Structures are given as C-alpha cells and as structure tokens.
Amino acid sequence: MNRIISLAVVLLVICQIDLAQEYTKYVNPFIGTTNFGTTNPGAIVPQGMVSVVPFNVAGSSTNKWDKDAQWWSTPYSWDNQFLTGFSHVNLSGVGCPDLGVIMVMPTTGEIKPRYKDFGSMMSQQEAELGYYSCMLDKYQIKAEVTATPRTGLSQFTFPEGQSNILIDLGNGLTNEQGASIRIVSENEVEGFRMTGDFCYHGQSERPVYFVARFSKSAKEYGVFKKMPEMQAEASWSASANEFKLYQSFQHPVAGDSIGAYFSFDTEEDERVQVQLGVSYVSIDNARQNLEFESTDFNFQATRENAQKDWESTLSKVKVEGGTKDQLTIFYTALYHMNIHPNIINDVNGQYPLMENYGTGLVEGRDRYTVFSLWDTYRNLHPLMSLLYPEKQLDMVRSMVDMYKEGGWLPKWELNSSETYTMNGDPSFPVIVDTYRRGLRDFDVEAAYEAMLKSATTKEVDNKIRTVNDFYLANAYVPFMADYDNSVSIALELYLADWNLAQFAKDLGHEGDYNRFMKQSKGYVNYFDKKEFKMLRPKNPDGTFLASFDPLQGENFEPVHGFHEGTAWQYAFGVPHDIKGIIKLYGGSKKFTNKLQRVFDDGLFDMANEPDMHYPFLFNNIKGEEWRSQKETRRLIDTYFLNTPGGIPGNDDCGTMSAWLVYAMMGIYPVCPGDMDFAITTPVFDKVSIELNQRYYKGESFEIIKEGKGNIINQIKVDGQTSKSYFINNKTIISGSKLVISTKEK
C-alpha cells in the first residue's frame, strides 16, 4: 500500500512539474544570441527592469582581450566563452550599445580588479526562462542567476579556500563615465553607475542605483579603483597593477573604473548568494525594491516565481500541431517580445521624469521605458494590444506622460531620455492604433495635442521633425547631402500623418483630417514614372537625384536617400495607401510582378524593418493571394531557426519576434492604425488567443487550419465563407473563429 501511495505522489509531482512548464519548456533563450540577433540568455521576468546577463563580449573564445568588442550592442554573444561577470541592466535585440553595467563576478584566490585578468572561460551553459547557469572553468565555480522585476539573485557554488565576489562598476558596453560605491557592512554594498549614451549620441546618460546584499558575511572586503598614472596614495595598496586596493573606509569612493570585493572562506561546494536591487531614482529606492521583492535568498523560490510569471504570459496564446522546433521558435519569439518595453518605476511608484532629473509617481499602474518605436510600431504594439491590452495601455499612458514631462512624444526613448535615433514620428501609429483597437483609457486630448505640436511646429523649434519646414511647404523631404535619409524620413512622416488624420476623424476634427490625409499622400512626389518607375530621391528644385542606384545600400553600406536599406526595400513603403501605390506602379499585374521580383531576385531583407510587411501585400491583388502564403512560409522556414543564429538580424526590442508570432499564427497588421489583418496560412493546426474580457467582448479568438497544404483553399469566419483575405480587428476581439482550409499547389 505504501509503495502505491509513493508512486502516486511521484506521479503527481511529475504532472505538476510538467504543467508548470507547459509553454516555457519550449523556449530556447539562446536563439538570437549570434548572427546579429543581439538577444541574450540572461534571467529576466516579463517586462522586468532587471535582467541578469552573462557578460562575455569583453573577450573571445581564445581568452584574448578584444577592445573592439566593447562597441558591441549586446552584453552576450554565443560565439564567445570569456566571461567577465553578470550585468544587471541590459537591452535585448538592439543595434546600438548601452547599459550592460553593474557587474557581479565570482573568483577565487588573489583579488585581481582588471576584468581581463579576473575573467574566465565558461562552459556547461544552461538557460530557461528566469534562469541561467554556467561553469567558470578558471575557478571551478558554478554560477546560477535568476531575477524578480527589480532585483537579480546570483548563486555561486565555490570550491574550498578563499572565494571572492566582485562588484565591478567599470565594465560596460558604451561610453559610460562616473560611478560611486560604498560598503555598508560585511554583507552589503551600495552605489550607482552612469549608463552611457545610446549609439554614442550624447543624450541618454542616466545614473542607475543599486544595493547588493550577500547571504554570508565576508571575512575581508574593500574597494578597488583605477588610479591615474604617476599618482600615489599611501592608503592604497599597489598590488594590482594600475588598480589600487583599499581595505577599510567610511565614505563613498567615486571614479570611473571602480568596484568592491568581498572575500570568504568557503568549504567545498559551499553556496554564496548575492541579491542586487536596482532603481533609476535613488539608492534608498533600490534598497526598498530589494526588501520588497526579496525571497530571503531562496534561490529556488525566486526561480520558480519567475517561471510562473513567464508561464502566465506565454499561455495567452495556445497552439496545437507543428514540430517541436516550430513550437520552440514560436514561444521563444513570444518570450522575446515581452522583454521590452520594460518597467522603470520602483515598488513605491517613483520613476525618473522624462528629460530631467526630477521624480515622478504612478499609482495603480506601471511606467514603461525602452521605446524603440521605429521598430515596434509596425507589429509589436498591435500584438501587445491584442494579447496584453492592460500592458499596452500603460505603455501608451507612459508615452503621453513623456510628452507632458518633456514637451514631446518619444521617438526612441531610453530610461526617460530621448536618444533621437531613427526616422519619422513613430509614436503616432502606436497611439492611434491602440486607440482604434478600443483601448482608450488614456489622456486622449493630450495625445492629440502632442501630435499636432510635432506635426506643425517649425523645424527650428521641433525636436522630432527637424526637416518640417520644407516638408510642410512641398510635401516631401529633399535630398540635401550625400547619404542622407530623405526618402526614408518622408515615408515615415507620411504614415505618421495618415495616422494623425485617422485620429482627427475619430475625434471629430474634420479639417485636420483633410489636411493630414492630403499630406500623407505626398509620396507620389518621389515616384519616377519615366526611368526607374520606383521611389527616387528628389532635389530641392524638384528634379530627381541623378546619381541614383536602386541597389545601393545592400549590406548596410551608405545609400543616397534611404536609411538602412536599398530603394527596393522601400519601394512599397506606403502601407497606408496600397491602392495608391498599386496605381502608381501601373495596375495590379505590374505591381504584382514588381513585388514578386523583390523576392525572386534576392532584393528582400528579412533582417530589417522597412520591407517586413511586403509578403502580405499580395493579399491586395485578387487571385495573387497565394503568393503571400508561399513567401511567408518560405521566410519563416529559411530565416527563423532553433539555433543561436536563428533570428536573421537585430531582434529590435522584439519586433522581429513579433513578425514571427503573427506570421506563424496566420495574420498580420500590414498598416498600424488600419484595423484589418492580412490572412495567410498558419503554421499550426490550431491557435487559441485568450482575450482579456476587461477590454474585449470575446473570450477567445481561434484560428483553425484544415488540411496539410500551405495554400489557402477556403476561408470561413464563424461558419460563413469569406472571399476576403483580411479579417477586421472588431471581428477578432468579439471572439470569432477563423477556419482556413488548405491545399497543395
């Protein structure tokens, strides 16, 4: 009888473990960690402020220092195995360096403050959601990390002897300068680190504060500091080359390359933990975050809580069918798109105000940061509205508050600072798209006021539209100098103004609607009807740029008139007026042939945003919809893999991943602000999207694929045959069922 009971208990435990990892078990955090994906396998919870990430770009697999690696835009690359610590504030999937600071590094033996000396080759890497581990070969230390929203918890299993934990404030990804550190006691340290400037633009530097506590009191502790040449201080030890060690003090130590060390006598396989809380407001808030989210150094409980958070997030979309690899790349993409934007408010609701060093307060909601809007407006925010409307609303509220605090809506915001990166006015489509999906519980009038300000203010006083004078007068942006981005800038502004027009119409401002609708069609100015029959840069005098090569810009080489792409990759960059661009190209047949050439001749770039909606444009041509189904599936199978290089380029804060989630489900929002989704063939037999009934009428939206083919034979919506290859947002959120019958072609 006891054996039967024991077996039942074992089976129950196994079932509970399996249920606990129903969706997180499919995620591979190493996807995108090479091939310029710039993701990382570090521990984080959904939209967490803190991520504990293995920092290995300071060296290479040959254990040689690589100074050029410091410009990398990611703290981690699968290709390198030289670890120099675990950073606690990081970005995921970006193309420019920043953050990657507040490093924790375990060592043994003598204290060596230079990271090219204390770094170690690592092996036995493992990662799952909310957890990462590796072995530090140099020291035979097992390192494990997990996280809460505002804290990181590291667990180091040491060998016998002297073991050390370093808090390194000198190592990072960019041009960060300035830090301060103070040892509070034998098991606590506090301080701050400046974060540096995103893309070295000199705009986004912020202090990030921290408090770290150790599960064991140190036998010795002190600080280290890189000293200027020829400088000598009697109170500093000279045992560490250009670094000096100081073993007792009462006041903070400031500098650039500084840190603290804590040494312990450890037994074989003894574990020492470090819990580190972060704040962008103050050290006191970092300590409060630490105390509020602490699990009393219970590493397993923290890890399990993180996994539960991810399980709840991923379970909003349930899929059936598909291979294990397809399930893995799908749920990994869903994971990646829930990293940014991330919260920046502390547990007490405080956060740094936009563009100043004051402190704001939110109550009953979260303040978000990291708005890579040129990327994320295209698909991530519409997907957030569908799957996580409560978060999307807080994101829009955060954006409107940024206008109230800093005078402008964000463009590429990072930690309450504007980086002024990329083109256009990308906040417009995010806010308007959210509003038109029925999520309207934000300051709508302030949002509209902010858009009008940006759209109409002269360029001398305009921080976002710095080419506004000529654009308003002539409806295009002129080519002014070699390798400018004139056409790309204008195309982004046309889409923004189209969204502003829709917003104006919905709010009853008919005059503004007419004005901005007219402005949104200025792209016709760039269309060269005679020679190239495509969009072409234009001079201020109205003539086309003479030295024009539509292929210029391949592989990110400098290009006249276009940003991060060729003229081909911008050739159909008018998602708000597909009928108009079809007409410009000479009708349906010529449009189809031109669009198909992009794919057939290798002119399409899956690794970047400007053309990512192109596969779905065939849906606008009757009888040619099958091309969307063919190209979408080919792109999924070719570029998205269950490997470290399985994202074709920068994930761009989840944008590439959002494209994949949509494409694998079988729908895509071709134009933000337009409530129609293009339909293509799903990868899975069944997709069930759980709808938040606080915001939407329906309980769930289901997509069913019948048949094993990849070409759509018939579409039914709630049992009624549909001849359209589009489905409206209103139909989706009412809780409908989309059935797609397929055939082989």
Q: Do domains 29-311 and 315-743 have the same CATH topology?
A: no
Q: Is the pLDDT of residue 597 over 50?
A: yes
Give the residue among 462, 475, 400 at the shortest CA–CA distance from 430: 400
Listed in sequence order, the residues at least 6 apart from 145 whose beta carbon sits closer than 8 Å to its beta carbon are 42, 43, 52, 86, 131, 132, 133, 152, 153, 154, 155
Q: What does the mean pLDDT of the chain come to?
A: 92
Domain boundaries, the chain: 29-311, 315-743
> Taking residues 367-375, what's their average pLDDT?
98
- Which two tokens mark 207? 């202090």
Residue 27 is classified by DSSP as -
Q: Round to whole Å and give the CA distance between 333 and 495.
A: 26
% pLDDT > 90, the chain: 84
Does pLDDT of 6 surpass 50? no
* pLDDT-based confidence at residue 700 (cuts at 50, 70, 90): very high
Averaged pLDDT, 549-575: 90
Rounded to whole angstroms, the Cα distance separating 594 from 590 reads 6
Say how far apart CA 636 and CA 659 lie, in whole Å. Answer: 10
Q: How far is it, in rounded angstroms, from Cα 84 to Cα 101?
A: 11
- On whether the CB atoms of residues 101 and 208 are closer than 8 A, the answer is yes
CA dihedral (495, 500, 506, 509) in degrees, to 10, reads: -140
pLDDT band at residue 62, thresholds of 50, 70 and 90? very low
Residue at 324: amino acid letter: K
pLDDT at 21: 75
- Output the pLDDT for position 202: 56
Instruction: Provide the pLDDT for residue 200.
Output: 66
Chain segment 245-295, per-residue pLDDT in tens: 876 566 889 998 899 999 999 999 999 999 999 999 999 999 999 999 998
Of the two residues 547 and 62, the one the predictor is more confident about is 547
For the full predicted model, state whether its pTM sits above 0.85: yes
| Count of H-run helices and E-run strands, the chain | 18, 36
Task: Write the CATH number of the domain with boundaries 29-311.
Answer: 2.70.98.10
- Residues paired with 667 in a beta bridge: 679
Rounded mean pLDDT of 97-123? 94
Instruction: For residue 516, give the H/E element and its range.
Output: helix 510-520
533-549 confidence digits (pLDDT tens): 999 999 999 999 998 99
Helix (H) or strand (E) holding 582: helix 578-584
Q: Which residue has the higher pLDDT, 250 or 148?
A: 148
Where residue 557 falls among pLDDT bands split at 50, 70, 90?
A: confident
pLDDT tens column, 290-343: 999 998 999 999 999 999 999 999 999 999 999 999 999 999 999 999 999 999
Output the pLDDT for position 195: 85
Of 13-22, 364-373, 408-417, the poorest mean pLDDT is in 13-22
Give the separation between CA 12 and CA 8, rounded to whole angstroms: 6
- What does the block give as tokens for 577? 């007026």
Report pLDDT for 72: 66
The Cα–Cα gap between 271 and 76 comes to: 25
What mean pLDDT is predicted for residues 96-110? 93
* pLDDT the model gives residue 70: 36
Amino acid (one-letter) located at 673 = G
| Top-tier CATH class for 315-743 | alpha beta
Q: What pLDDT is stored for residue 244 in this prediction?
A: 77
What per-residue confidence (pLDDT) applies to 297?
96
Residue among 167, 207, 162, 206 at smallest CA distance from 183: 167
Q: Is the dihedral of CA 330, 331, 332, 335 positive or negative?
A: positive
> What local confidence, expressed as pLDDT, does residue 696 receive?
98
Hey, what amino acid is at 382?
A: P
Look at residue 602 and tell me whether its pLDDT is greater than 80.
yes
Cα–Cα distance for residue pair 742/683, rounded to 1 Å: 11
Least confident of 94-98, 183-187, 190-194, 692-696: 94-98
- Asked whether residue 553 carries a pLDDT value surpassing 90, the answer given is no
The three-state DSSP-derived secondary structure of 107-152 is: EECCCCCCHHHHCEEEEEEEEECCEEEEEECCCCEEEEEEECCCEE
Give the tens place of pLDDT for each residue, 402-461: 999 999 999 999 999 999 999 999 999 999 999 999 999 999 999 999 999 999 999 999
Contact (Cβ atoms closer than 8 angstroms) between residue 594 and residue 603: no
Q: According to the model, what pLDDT value does residue 11 have?
A: 42
Alpha-carbon span 352 to 344, nearest angstrom: 8
